[in-house]
Structure 1
């Protein structure tokens, strides 16, 4: 059985080429206050540099820099491409590994989310939620590739 929704194998390299720079960008944005100047947005009165959460309109941003949004979108797209790209030798065992890794990633992410809900508050909780956006995909890609390399190494040893 071949999964129909997987991308061709050649997309995996494209996903890595998108995800790695986006991951580095997000680290700089979240920990170094990095921002691209050309992604600045301002509307109306720029004396107020804030998002108006109590405004009756949904889009009440006066000024913002969209570097973090761009980095997050590129990271998610890159990780999705990596996660859903077919292996060169896609078979039922790899499909099983893919499913097990996805279930494991969702379980671990849910446990981390529960722990964050119980133990973290205010700004720290919000910062953890920023990381949590990609945690499931990162865990899935890491575990799937680790399990796949272990399986291939064991198969190579068994062939000898």
Structure 2
């Protein structure tokens, strides 16, 4: 079966480790302690920037702590590589489980987002929208690996 869109299997382990670490750090910052773990203040180029009580500015250099940008980049890149790396045995059943998991995670993510739109109010909705960007990938990885695990173990018991 041709799977040109998948990364090589050799990337799965390191991307999985990076993804787990980034996920744990993000949850720690979001749920437990939102203070700065690491301060990486630097000057960055901003296409758009608005100060809290200022006007919108375009194409300028601004001071910024880039720890959150680096953390989100590690989360997204490692998550995509981990989610879309080939398995040791990549067959039609693995592709079917991958597709079903992708569809399932899309439905669940948008159902939860829809519920939040109707039941979460105030400025916290922006946090919910930010979380919704990451949960789709997280739901897919969890469901795909769980279904793959249960399929492999049910096949072991049948033999």
- Quote how far apart the aligned CAs of 1:57 are: 2.0
Residue correspondences, number: 152
Q: Which residue of 2 aligns with 1:64?
A: 64
Q: Who is 2:123 aligned against?
A: 123
Quote the offset at 1:65 in angstroms. Answer: 1.8
Query: Residue 142 and residue 64 in structure 1: after superposition, are their counterparts in 2 closer, same or farther (change >3 A)?
Result: same
Normalising by structure 2, we get a TM-score of: 0.85
- Quickly say closer, same or farther: Cα 1:61–1:127, change in 2 above 3 A: farther
Q: Secondary structure at the match of 2:123?
A: helix
CA distance in 2, matches of 1:60, 1:130: 25
Question: What is the RMSD of the two structures over their aligned residues, measured on CA atoms?
Answer: 2.2
Alignment partner, residue 52 of structure 1? 51
Taking a change above 3 Å as real, the CA distance of residues 42 and 4 of structure 1, as seen in their structure-2 partners, is: closer
Unaligned runs of 5+ in 2: none
More strand by share: 2
1:40 match: 41
The CA deviation string for residues 48-102 of structure 1, in whole angstroms up to 9 with x for no partner, is xx94165232457854322112111111111101110000000001000000000
How big is each residue's C-alpha offset from its partner over 1:79-135, in whole Å with a ceiling of 9 and x where there is no partner?
Answer: 101110000000001000000000000000110111111111232111112211210
TM-score normalised to the size of structure 1?
A: 0.84
Show the 5 A alignment for 1:1-160: 1-30=1-30, 31-32=32-33, 33-37=35-39, 39-41=40-42, 51-52=50-51, 55-58=55-58, 63-159=63-159
